[in-house]
Amino acid sequence: QQQPQAGGCAGAPLTAAALAAAPPGVQKQMLGEKLYPMISKMQPELAGKITGMMLEMDNSELLILLESQQQMKTKVDEAMRVLNAAHP
């Protein structure tokens, strides 16, 4: 019988069940570890900042973003607009 590890395999998708099994404090860290590489492909200079912004969202919304490249791109573009508006 295998014990699921907190982070799972590095390449494995993060499932709602795996996330729910983790303590709340660890959940955001797990999500951040999956979000950051995806965001850094789109916005390498601001990946940390955008990841932080996205981690303010609900975990269920973040799981949807992780599964949909198009929705992820839309959110990253939205975050860029917010950042650009804040720093003209």
What value, to the nearest 5°, has the Cα angle with vertex 20 and ends 15 and 25? 115
pLDDT of 3 over the 70 cut: no
Q: Which of 7-11, 32-36, 66-70 has the lowest mean pLDDT?
A: 7-11
Q: What is the band of 9 on the pLDDT scale with cuts at 50, 70, 90?
A: very low
* pLDDT tens-digit series, residues 47-80: 999 999 999 999 999 999 999 999 999 999 999 9
Q: How far apart are CA 88 and CA 74, in angstroms?
A: 21
pTM of the model: 0.81
Average pLDDT over residues 2-17: 58
